[in-house]
């Protein structure tokens, strides 16, 4: 018992570095933010009262919720059929399609938003095309309105919805559908009664993720929306920068956080990544809070019974209809979605080679002038260099800290693991703007505002969360007996980790590192708050450019950013591809 306790205490210790950074940069300031919002030590509701008293605030709040809800709904409607078709396709096709979705997911948010400006803008792709055809005489108002916000947000959020959906639907045993059909369920009934209920966990986590991310969304609505489409996050950011009244900023941040927390706790979010095939029936959902819903469906089912009885005997042994049309429709839908996800990026890349004084599609010639301007303009490449430096530092720090934490978590009691993982994941489950404000407060206290160290720490908390998610998922799939086998061959716990576990989870660690780098390289909300005036990262510079002047150099930068995830995917592929023989070698080494 004693060594067991010691061991578990030791593994908890591995989460300490991650926890320390998180608490200093984010945890303590979060508490401060809470206290400030209540005017501690007076503890009044004055700040909340002030928020509620302003009709404009309430309008922005309801608008934020509305935009988030509509975006989530659109993502479900588009994402579910997409995931269904992808999951049902052949193995190679599935891998390719998932690859496309992942590339879209990993592509810089700024670059993708910028792409929509190029497509929807007054002198953008669509308007130019229609003007050229003579269909319209003046540009259509495609941008700076709610529709543009939805188009941009859905494109950015769709991968967040589709990826969890795919992972759930691929895991559904195909023989279940076959079983339902063998019992006389028509294809649609089999889908509705068996496949759909089993895919609900994916719908649930996808929706919650999308909704919560939308709540804190900042870049896309500000870039594509009109003045009347402001989100609460834009509002908070403006407040934090201009006013000295921290109390009202704190109150509005916490209101946003409260909404996110309510949604998460009601619907439930499973980021643990452990592949559990069997759904947990005990899970509380808001659907279960309504005991009548099951009764109603059952009642409706009962009404359909006589009709079904007639149909069953009438149609027994009759030839089936051809479902080829349905398959073609599904394929076309997925093609359309893939175009929607990837086309904007291609547009930017093509346009970045425009020879004229502004961007055009299709380019009338081929010119590298914008690339030249990127590499010759000191302010651009200095920003890029700063981002690379910060990105590398964040990657190294968060990969080490996150891997240790994930390993520590995998060796503790399940209950403690759940609590600690939830804490470590807060930087990516809380609305971005709330994380930004809290981090800002934390770095003010540490005196690190406007320093690279400050930005690195600010990025590390989010990056660590990604590393923990990915490495934990890899560890969950790892056979624990391998490590025990190494220990039985007299390898110390450290040696066993280095020689067996680490080589085996290396794909996960590499994936986590890539996510950490991309997270840092694309971060703009927190950076804009904590960067002060002295530090310009590439995303910051891009963001300022996008808002103020549309220097076409940005197209070259965006194109380079689009290539980044592709490069990383190739790097990852090579590591993963190489890791298989290495894993075997690791076991052999440990044995010898």
- Report d(CA 398, CA 338) in Å as an integer: 32
Closest to 526 measured CA to CA, from 541, 545, 540, 513 = 540
Cα–Cα distance between 349 and 249 in angstroms, integer?
A: 39
Q: In sequence order, which residues have a C-beta less than 8 Å from that of residue 9 and are 6 or more positions away?
A: none
CB 39 within 8 A of CB 47: yes
d(CA 425, CA 422): 5
Nearer to other proteins, 196 or 385 (CB): 196
- Rule CB under 8 A: which residues touch other proteins? 173, 175-176, 178-187, 189-190, 193-194, 197-198, 277-279, 281, 301-302, 304-320
Rounded to the nearest whole angstrom, what is the least distance from the CB of residue 88 to other proteins in the complex? 14
Q: Name the one residue in this structure whose structure tokens are 């923990």.
A: 468
Q: Give least dist CB 308 to other proteins, A.
A: 3
E strand or H helix that includes residue 222? helix 219-224
Min CB(298)–other proteins separation in Å: 8
- Which two three-digit tokens encode residue 17? 């570095």
The smaller minimum CB distance to other proteins, of residues 174 and 585, is found at: 174
Comparison of 40 and 304: residue with beta carbon closer to other proteins: 304
Given a contact cutoff of 8 angstroms between Cβ atoms, the answer to whether 535 and 459 are in contact is no
Cβ closest to other proteins, residue 154 vs residue 194: 194
Give CA–CA dist 121/141, Å, rounded: 8
* Residue 168: CB minimum distance to other proteins, A: 12
Nearer of residues 244 and 305 to other proteins, judged by Cβ? 305
Closer Cβ to other proteins, 31 or 304, answer by number: 304
Mention every residue, 6+ apart, whose C-beta is less than 8 A from residue 161.
72, 75, 76, 79, 206, 207, 209, 210
- In this structure, what token pair is assigned to residue 300? 């409706």
DSSP 229: G
**CB nearer to other proteins: pick between 177 and 251:** 177
Shortest Å distance, C-beta 181 to other proteins: 4
Note the helical H segments in 378-501: 378-410, 414-429, 432-446, 452-476, 480-488, 493-496
- Shortest approach of other proteins to residue 249 CB, angstroms? 45
Concatenating the DSSP letter of every residue in 346-381 gives HHHHHHTT--SSS--SS-SS---HHHHHHHH-HHHH
CB of 281 to other proteins, least distance (A): 6
Token duo for residue 187? 């294809």
Tokens (6 digits) for 138: 């003046």
CB of 334 to other proteins, least distance (A): 24
Least Å from the CB of residue 277 to other proteins: 7
- Location of structure tokens 């006013």: 243
Query: Angle at CA 66, nearest 5°, toward 60 and 71?
Result: 125
Residue 295 CB, shortest distance to other proteins, in Å, is 12
Radius of gyration of the chain (CA): 26
Shorter beta-carbon distance to other proteins: residue 327 or 547? 327
Question: Is-contact 219 524, C-beta < 8 A?
Answer: yes
Q: Which DSSP category does 225 fall into?
A: S
**Which one, 136 or 287, has the nearer CB to other proteins?**
287
141 vs 184 by CB, closer to other proteins? 184
Token pair recorded at residue 571: 């790097």
Nearer to other proteins, 178 or 332 (CB): 178
Could you tell me the end-to-end alpha-carbon distance of the chain, in angstroms, rounded to an integer?
A: 31
Contact between 579 and 506 under an 8 Å Cβ cutoff? The reply is yes
Q: Which CB atom, from 53 or from 322, has the smaller least distance to other proteins?
A: 322
Q: Least CB distance from residue 172 to other proteins, whole Å?
A: 9
Q: How far is the CB of 175 from other proteins (least distance, A)?
A: 4
């Amino acid at each position: 018992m004693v060594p067991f306790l010691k061991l578990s205490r030791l593994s908890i210790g591995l989460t300490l570095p991650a926890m320390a950074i998180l608490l200093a940069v984010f945890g303590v300031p979060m508490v401060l933010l809470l206290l400030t919002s209540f005017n501690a030590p007076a503890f009044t509701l004055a700040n909340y009262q002030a928020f509620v008293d302003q009709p404009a605030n309430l309008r922005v709040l309801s608008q934020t919720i509305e935009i988030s809800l509509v975006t989530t709904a659109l993502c479900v409607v588009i994402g579910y059929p997409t995931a269904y078709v992808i999951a049902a396709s052949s193995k190679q096709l599935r891998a390719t399609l998932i690859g496309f979705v992942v590339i879209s997911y990993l592509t810089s948010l700024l670059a993708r938003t910028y792409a929509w400006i190029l497509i929807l803008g007054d002198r953008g792709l669509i308007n130019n095309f229609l003007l050229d055809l003579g269909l319209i005489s003046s540009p259509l108002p495609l941008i700076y309105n709610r529709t543009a916000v939805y188009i941009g947000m859905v494109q950015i959020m769709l991968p967040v919805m589709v990826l969890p959906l795919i992972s759930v639907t691929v895991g559904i045993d195909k023989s279940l559908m076959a079983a339902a059909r063998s019992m006389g369920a028509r294809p649609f009934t089999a889908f509705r009664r068996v496949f759909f209920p089993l895919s609900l966990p994916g719908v649930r986590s996808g929706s919650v993720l999308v909704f919560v991310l939308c709540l804190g969304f900042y870049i896309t609505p500000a870039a594509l929306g009109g003045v009347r489409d402001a989100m609460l996050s834009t509002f908070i950011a403006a407040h934090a920068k201009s006013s000295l009244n921290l109390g009202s900023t704190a109150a509005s941040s916490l209101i946003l956080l409260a909404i996110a927390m309510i949604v998460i706790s009601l619907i439930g979010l499973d980021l643990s990544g452990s592949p559990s095939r069997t759904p947990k029936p005990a899970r509380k959902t808001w659907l279960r809070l309504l005991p009548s819903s099951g009764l109603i469906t059952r009642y409706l089912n009962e009404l359909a019974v006589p009709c079904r009885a007639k149909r069953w005997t009438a149609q027994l042994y009759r030839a089936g209809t051809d479902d080829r049309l349905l398959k073609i429709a599904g394929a076309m839908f997925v093609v359309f979605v893939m175009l929607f996800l990837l086309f904007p990026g291609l547009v930017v890349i093509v346009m970045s080679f425009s020879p004229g004084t502004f961007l055009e599609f299709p380019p009338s010639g081929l010119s590298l002038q914008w690339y030249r301007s990127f590499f010759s303009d000191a302010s651009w490449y200095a920003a890029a260099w700063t981002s690379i430096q910060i990105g590398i530092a964040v990657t190294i720090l968060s990969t080490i800290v996150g891997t240790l934490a994930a390993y520590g978590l995998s060796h503790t009691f399940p209950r403690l693991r759940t609590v600690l993982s939830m804490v470590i994941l807060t930087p990516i489950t809380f609305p971005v703007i709330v994380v930004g404000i809290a981090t800002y407060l934390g770095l003010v206290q540490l005196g690190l505002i406007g320093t690279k160290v400050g930005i690195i720490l600010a990025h590390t908390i989010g990056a660590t969360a990604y590393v923990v998610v990915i490495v934990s998922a890899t560890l969950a799939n790892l056979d624990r007996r391998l490590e025990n086998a190494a220990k039985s061959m007299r390898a110390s716990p450290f040696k066993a980790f280095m020689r067996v576990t680490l080589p085996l989870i290396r794909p996960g660690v590499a994936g986590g590192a890539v996510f950490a780098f991309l997270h840092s390289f694309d971060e703009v909300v927190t950076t804009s708050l904590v960067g002060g005036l002295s530090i310009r990262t590439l995303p910051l510079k891009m963001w300022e450019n996008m808002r103020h002047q549309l220097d076409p150099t940005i197209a070259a930068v965006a194109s380079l950013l689009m290539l980044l995830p592709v490069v990383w995917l190739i790097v990852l592929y090579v590591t993963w591809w190489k890791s298989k023989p290495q894993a075997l070698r690791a076991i052999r080494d440990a044995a010898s």
